[in-house]
Amino acid sequence: MVGGFLKELVRALGKYARYRLSRVFGRRVPDPPVPVPKPAVGIASPDQIARLSDALGLDESYLRNVRWQSDRSDESQLGLAANPVYQLWTKIPEGHKWTQYFEAYEELFASRRADSLRILEIGVFKGSSLRLWRQYFHHPQTMVVGIDIDPNCAQYEVAAEGIHVRIGSQADPEFLKHIVSEFGPFDLIIDDGSHHSTHMIVSFNSLYRDGLKDGGIYFAEDLHANYWLPWRDSRRSFLDLCKELLELMHAHYTKGWLANWNHEAAAGVPIVMEVPEITLMIKEIRVLDSMVAIYKTRRPYLPRLKLRDLLTEAK
């Protein structure tokens, strides 16, 4: 504190001396250049981020309200007549789906239709989705397992066709563990169950690590229920959890700075750091209207920065 005071005192005396000299000799002695502080480099800590300005964000023009309405002709506009999932769904009674879902289903699942799959669907209702997915994923060895808390749903099991039903709660980790032990691990998990945010989060926590194969998809739909009561029954919604997963995908960049990767690229010294396990388990997160698809992987190595020798390439 004393050192800082002395520095300020010397600076003030210097300014006064320059002022007096300019009065005596009739000219102003210019102030010395003010040093420009070097920008901080390194990992941005939460405290540093909190001190930054939050004035910049999405341009307000994007938030202008516009008129939007439903249209009974949206099925033709979306090209649903040619959509394989929609074609099957219209032939299966007792079902209900939002019209935007069919395009997403085809985009996400079409490449796996002919594969031998193990599929878990949370929520059976009238069994229509179980029949839909068993017909859509047409490999003879594909198996679809449905779980529901309603004992009446047991009637929709058709084991001979690869459709199995078990009665239990998606919010019961022990029950889910038993399902994985009996039928899993799964290639595709579809959460179309209670839509309660607490249940969805418990299901993900219980199933993602051990219940879903590497390369599999964890798919949750009807996320609009996160905004409605009574389904929103926790402060953190499933969408909030997905936002957290998005940050955790990039956790390694909060553990090391660019210099670490430059050094590894130049000297070949491996970077070693500790990150949350989930960071290694997410390949991609796709967010659609009321849906999210989380692609599981097992990332064996930390990403590297590849430096290209420009002189060598020029030759």
Q: Please list the active-site residues.
A: 195
Are the C-beta atoms of 270 and 264 separated by less than 8 Å? yes
- Residue type for 50, please? A
CA 68, chain centre distance (Å): 27
| Ordered DSSP codes for 49-91 | HHTS-----S-GGGG--------TTHHHHTTGGG-HHHHHHTT
Any residues with CB less than 8 A from the CB of 151 and at least 6 apart, and which? 167
